[in-house]
Homo-oligomer: A and B are copies of this chain.
């Protein structure tokens, strides 16, 4: 089987590490470049010793043109704000780009500016980038040159919600997404708030009512279902490395739990990474996989949707590879099972 060459841009973080872990197992991808401003010159395995004897690539400062000579696709793991300029250059240099930042997820410059400020280097592109959730947008991926990889929380909310909103099974009003995440989602830059002794043996909410993944959820739900969802999102930090559990409170519109299961089973009959399960999802059942488990429970006059995924895999790097597989018209599960 012919394989393609991949570059990892911004190779020091957890997302990049997870991507490299997955790519060294992928039968049709070779990592041929990895970049980092601070760590240029080191072997990638020196930064991430897990990769020792598995990945020989050296970290460099290569610019997009140089990368285009050694790679076919670039996974951009730069932080929000910093990504857009590099993505633009990578695309201009002829690389296919899968951007793991938030810079190309929202569908309009105005929305981006409202939530992320005015540092975007390619605002006119917003609204014309495929949102990389193959379960909803697979048809657009095959021809895509640039894919916006979804946020971890949005994936956990959109996968259960989208088919139900589309089917009119639940109200668009009063949706509450209460999410619990492991710490790796907060990145690998040293910060007081993610020190072991701050996070361990503790649980807290953060960014209550103002997290940037809330507009992403609403924007993508609108694009994929046509429904303007009135949705409230509260993230919480859990003392664990990885995993997201979302507990989603919705009001049914004449739909029972059984109806919800039926709608999901049909919607995801061809989605290999969405498991409609009857047990209550635990993040442990999905960590180190690209699966998103979903189920539903009735409670009073509400339905409670529960979803679990691994924020580093289905919520980031696994999804990126799933997107690549779709872009290349390969089997969607290649390297991910």
B residues less than 8 Å from A201 (CB atoms): 182, 201, 240-243, 283-284, 287
A219 to chain B, nearest CB (A): 16
B residues less than 8 Å from A280 (CB atoms): 204-206, 208
Q: Is the CB of B200 within 8 A of A192?
A: no
B residues less than 8 Å from A225 (CB atoms): none
Identify the stretch in A28-36, A74-82, A102-110, A228-236 within 8 Å (CB) of chain B at 4 or more residues: A228-236
B residues less than 8 Å from A291 (CB atoms): 52-53
Q: Is the CB of B196 within 8 A of A232?
A: no
- How many copies of this chain? 4
B residues less than 8 Å from A208 (CB atoms): 280, 297, 299, 304, 306
Taking each of A234, A272, A281, A298, which has the highest tally of chain B beta carbons within 10 Å of its own beta carbon?
A234
> Which residue in chain B gives the minimum CB-CB distance to A233?
B299
Q: Is the CB of B49 within 8 A of A300?
A: no
Q: Which of B176, B204, B206, B284 lies in contact with A249, CB distance below 8 A?
A: B176
Q: Is the CB of B196 within 8 A of A200?
A: yes
Once A52-B277, A205-B280, A245-B204 are accepted as A-B contacts, the answer to whether A197 and B14 lie under 8 Å apart by CB is yes
Q: Is the CB of B300 within 8 A of A230?
A: yes
Q: Is the CB of B230 within 8 A of A285?
A: no
Q: Which of B14, B209, B298 lies in contact with A298, CB distance below 8 A?
A: B209
Q: Is the CB of A190 within 8 A of B188?
A: no
**A275 in contact (CB, < 8 A):** yes
**A65 in contact (CB, < 8 A):** no
Give complex CA distance A209, B304 in Å.
Answer: 9
Q: Is the CB of B195 within 8 A of A232?
A: no
A115 to chain B, nearest CB (A): 15
The 6 closest A-B pairs by CB, nearest first: A209-B299, A202-B284, A204-B282, A190-B190, A49-B285, A183-B196
